[in-house]
Amino acid sequence: MDARVSLKERTVYVDLDGTLIHSDLLWETLFLAARQCPRLLVKLPFWLSQGKARLKAELARNVSFDASALPYRQEVIDELRALKAQGRRIVLATGSNERLAHAVAVHLGLFDAVLASNDEVNLTSTRKLARIEAEAGVDGYDYYGNSHEDICLLENAAEATVVAPDRSAGRWQRRTGSHLIGHEKGRLKAAIKSFRPHQWTKNVLVFVPMILTHEFLNLEMVLSALLAFVSFSAAASSVYIVNDLLDLEADRRHKTKRYRPFASGRLSIPTGLKMAFGLMALACATAVLLPVGYAIVLAGYMIATTAYSFALKRMLLIDVMTLAFLYTTRIIAGAEATGVGTSFWLLSFSIFFFLSLALVKRYTELQDHGTGADRSTTGRGYVDADLETIGQMGMSSGFAAVLVLALYINSPEVAVHYAIPYLVWPLCPMVLYIISRIWVLARRDQMHEDPVVFILQDWRSQMVMGLGGLMFLGAVYV
């Protein structure tokens, strides 16, 4: 047989998970189920007891799946398109369930046929090899794969292509010198980015109670506050990772969030779970060194954030009130860690102030989705018609925070704590300036999506906060 004819008649079989896409559809559908219908999670052990094929089938049946939102490997698709142009027959051969595999095939329009798992057969490794060899016959086949389960298929292929291999497939590729497409790089950088270290600036709120009680020179309290900062930062990063995993599909539709490590596929879902558990272990280990009250507050924070990730974030207004509560919880945690207590005035100011900032966050997100945004596209409980209402609520809440601050400054408590109480009065116009500026920028569509981080990184806000700090010290010590 002519070599060119033999090559043209040889079918190209392409693996899906980790090869055609950066991710794995079993993990993808698990987290889709957790987001779309959390009660399905209690059925997972029963399905798994009946075999992995049944688990995949039930998840595929019970989730709403959008093949266009997956993180495809463009270099693989480009190579397959070139082969298609040469007249090659291309088959998607995957261990993923057939419902999902057919959706991918329809979306890409590249494949002549699909081989996939069904309710009874988990089409991976040697089972996939037997199916392909039976179909390919004497002409043999070419294969694209990426993992240790693909090695038996790569070894028996006439021409093997290894895509971003795992450790075992990588060793096989280096030993055989097979064609290689891509390899995962920058995982450490992506892992650090997934922690969202810039968000740790929010956790400086744990220092607020200590500062307001003028104990910032007490080394024991400073150490306790530092431990609380580390603990809260680790706990928050753990939650951010879980939140990203639950929001994969929504993030991939967002103009900037689609570049996040998990949404883009630079980090796998199992890697994210390992990091989340590790960070939570660090948070708990650090909490052991602090008073029991702090551990109780941290536990409450974790329960609230878990509820927020799974359900509350999609509830109209409940989501922003929860965010305001979570910000305020950091202040309560700082008070419990240092043993200084909190006041009615501080908690009242915090709730109004952080509610305003939470509404800024929702306002900017809704702006990004533009005209026609609805609950399905925003992933929240808001539609485009809510934009003006959110803005009015946010500004009103911010001004209410300034009013609480003014009433506090005029209260008898201030005369007890400050030598010259009137030096604290300029804090009112300063906070008013910060709130007003944030909302002006938000309406101009110039606001960072997280206003708390914006305040802590914006040089104008930093100058105002620095000047306010000097006036605070002057009121205490002058």
- Residues pairing with 142 in the sheet: 12, 159
Residue 4 placed within a domain: no
Residue range(s) defining the domain that contains residue 242: 187-342
pLDDT in tens, 291-328: 999 999 999 999 998 888 778 888 889 999 999 999 99
Residues 227 and 312 in one domain: yes
Residue 299 placed within a domain: yes
User: Is residue 475 a contact partner of residue 219, using CB atoms and an 8 Å limit?
Assistant: no
Residues 259 and 402 in one domain: no
Instruction: State residue 378's pLDDT score.
Output: 63
Instruction: State residue 5's pLDDT score.
Output: 44
Average pLDDT per 10 consecutive residues for the chain, totaling 478 residues: 57 96 94 88 92 95 92 95 94 96 96 95 95 90 95 94 92 93 80 89 88 80 94 93 89 84 91 95 94 94 87 87 92 91 87 93 83 66 86 94 90 74 82 92 82 79 83 71
User: Is residue 449 a contact partner of residue 361, using CB atoms and an 8 Å limit?
Assistant: yes
Residues 196 and 244 in one domain: yes
Residues 294 and 440 in one domain: no
Residues 338 and 348 in one domain: no
Residue 1 placed within a domain: no
Q: What are phi and psi of 392, to 5 degrees?
A: -65, -40
Give the 3-state secondary structure of residue 305: helix
Residues 249 and 328 in one domain: yes
Sign of CA dihedral 441, 447, 452, 458: negative
Instruction: State residue 2's pLDDT score.
Output: 44
Residues 168 and 21 in one domain: yes
Angle (deg, nearest 10), helices 269-287 and 187-194: 50
Task: Output helix, strand, coil percentages for the chain, rounded to the nearest 5.
Answer: 70, 5, 25
> Residue 151 is part of a domain; what is its CATH number?
3.40.50.1000
Residues 155 and 291 in one domain: no
Instruction: State residue 413's pLDDT score.
Output: 75
Instruction: State residue 433's pLDDT score.
Output: 92
Residues 200-213 as b/e (b if ≥16 CB within 10 A, e otherwise) read bebbbbbbbbbbbb
Instruction: State residue 143's pLDDT score.
Output: 97
Residues 46 and 154 in one domain: yes
Q: Which of residues 289, 324, 342 is at a domain's end? A: 342
Residue 2 placed within a domain: no
Q: 6: which 2 tokens?
A: 């033999």
Residues 398-415 as b/e (b if ≥16 CB within 10 A, e otherwise) read bbbbbebbbebbeeeebe
Residues 401 and 469 in one domain: yes
Q: Which of residues 144, 164, 181 is at a domain's end? A: 181
Q: Which of residues 292, 323, 342 is at a domain's end? A: 342
Residues 427 and 397 in one domain: yes
Tokens 């536990």 belong to which residue?
Answer: 299
Number of domains in the chain: 3
